[in-house]
């Protein structure tokens, strides 16, 4: 089972590696893929109201037979329907997920919540009520974090943003702010340099590191695993998305899932390799999701 964890600022812990049910599973039946992930050893399952598949994620949780207490389930708040409140949406999610609580509940997109302070206070109440163990945000800039911290009595435990070498430079301010406030950073789209831009400037740096680690361990280390280790060394939680695999048709096969899980035990990158990836990644900028973030201070 996935074992590496990172402490959160509220006393809870979060598994470092997560299986995401967005992207290729968006609005699709996630049962089979999630069952395969749990069977392979994933315990952190990352969902969202916006993905439109919470019900099948819940089916997989039940069918897996794994005790609920052994799993870490994340979901994310979409826009709140007129006449409803945040609690209503989370209770709907819990019904679909077939659980009494989630481990982490995130505001998915600040632009969907004009009264961001009011929304955050509602999340705090849900944590106090035990419907979620931890609360946090996603796709936030420093400005958005500052807004909720003006009223917060409970700080966000985590912030989930797109993060990989091609957005690392643009993310420095929000990364630094999160670190200052002891907010754990969670990456989605972390394999973008392998899956979306395989011939970019960071590719040779990844290949060099993969070759060195393969020789050191005696086992084949892929460039995707190097990216996972790169995130791990920064204490950044990695959400693994179905689309981000060398071949999408095999992304949920046991061997492909195991490749991701094996990144937990691969030795660290050297300081030179970390610098190499950072330097090469900074040469271009590629953001795949929430491109409006490039127009605001992030």
Q: Which residues are 77's β-sheet partners?
A: 107
Residue 297's pLDDT band, with cuts at 50, 70 and 90, is: low
User: What are the tens digits of pLDDT across the range 84-116?
Assistant: 999 999 999 999 999 999 999 999 999 999 999
User: What are the tens digits of pLDDT across the range 228-243?
Assistant: 999 999 999 999 875 5
The one catalytic residue in 51, 163, 188, 260 is 51
Instruction: Report the b/e string of 120-145 with b at 16+ CB within 10 A.
Output: bbbbbebbeeebbbbbbbbbbbbebb
Return d(Cα 97, Cα 117) in angstroms, integer.
27
Q: Is 26 a catalytic residue?
A: no
Share of the chain above pLDDT 70, in %: 94
- Supply the pLDDT for residue 245: 41
Return d(Cα 12, Cα 139) in angstroms, integer.
22
Coil, helix or strand at residue 70: helix
Return d(Cα 185, Cα 40) in angstroms, integer.
25
Which residues fall in the annotated binding site for substrate? Answer: 108
Token pair in block for residue 179: 């670190």
User: What are the tens digits of pLDDT across the range 82-91?
Assistant: 999 999 999 9
Q: How far is CA 260 from CA 210, 257, 265, in A?
A: 14, 5, 10
Please state the CATH superfamily assignment of the domain spanning residues 5-295 in this structure.
NADP-dependent oxidoreductase domain (3.20.20.100)
Torsional class of 87: left (φ above 0), alpha (ψ -120 to 50), beta (otherwise): alpha
Q: Answer whether 136's CB lies under 8 Å from 182's CB.
A: no
Q: What are phi and psi of 136, to 5 degrees?
A: -165, -160
Does this model's pTM top 0.75?
yes
What are the structural domain ranges in the chain? 5-295
Return d(Cα 246, Cα 220) in angstroms, integer.
15
Q: How far is CA 143 from CA 101, 135, 150, in A?
A: 30, 18, 11
Which residues fall in the annotated binding site? Answer: 108
In the predicted structure, residue 248 carries a pLDDT above the cut 80: no
In the predicted structure, residue 29 carries a pLDDT above the cut 80: yes
**pLDDT, mean over the chain:** 93
Token pair in block for residue 190: 């972390």
């Amino acid at each position: 089972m996935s074992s590496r964890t990172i402490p959160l600022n509220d006393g809870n812990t979060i598994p470092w590696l997560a299986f995401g049910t967005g992207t290729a599973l968006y609005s699709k039946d996630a049962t089979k893929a999630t069952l395969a992930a749990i069977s392979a050893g994933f315990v952190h399952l990352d969902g969202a109201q916006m993905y439109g598949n919470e019900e099948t994620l819940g089916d997989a949780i039940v069918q897996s037979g794994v005790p609920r207490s052994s799993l870490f389930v994340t979901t994310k708040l979409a826009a709140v329907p007129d006449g409803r409140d945040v609690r209503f949406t989370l209770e709907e999610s819990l019904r679909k997920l077939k659980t009494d609580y989630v481990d982490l509940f995130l505001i998915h997109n600040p632009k969907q919540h004009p009264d961001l302070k009011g929304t955050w206070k509602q999340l705090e109440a849900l944590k106090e009520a035990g419907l979620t163990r931890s609360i946090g945000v996603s796709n936030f800039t420093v400005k958005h974090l500052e807004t909720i911290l003006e009223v917060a009595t409970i700080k966000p435990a985590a912030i989930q943003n797109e993060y990989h070498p091609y957005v690392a430079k643009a993310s420095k301010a929000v990364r630094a702010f999160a670190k200052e406030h002891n907010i754990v950073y969670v990456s989605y789209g972390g394999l973008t340099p392998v899956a979306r831009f395989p011939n970019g400037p960071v590719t040779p740096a990844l290949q060099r590191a993969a070759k060195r680690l393969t020789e050191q361990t005696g086992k084949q280390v892929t460039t995707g695993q190097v990216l996972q280790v790169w995130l791990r060394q920064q204490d950044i939680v990695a959400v693994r998305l179905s689309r981000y695999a060398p071949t999408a048709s095999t992304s949920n096969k046991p061997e492909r899932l195991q490749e991701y899980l094996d990144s937990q035990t691969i030795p660290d990158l050297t300081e030179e390799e970390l610098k190499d990836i950072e330097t090469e990644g900074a040469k271009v900028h590629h953001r795949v999701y929430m491109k409006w973030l490039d127009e605001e201070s992030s």
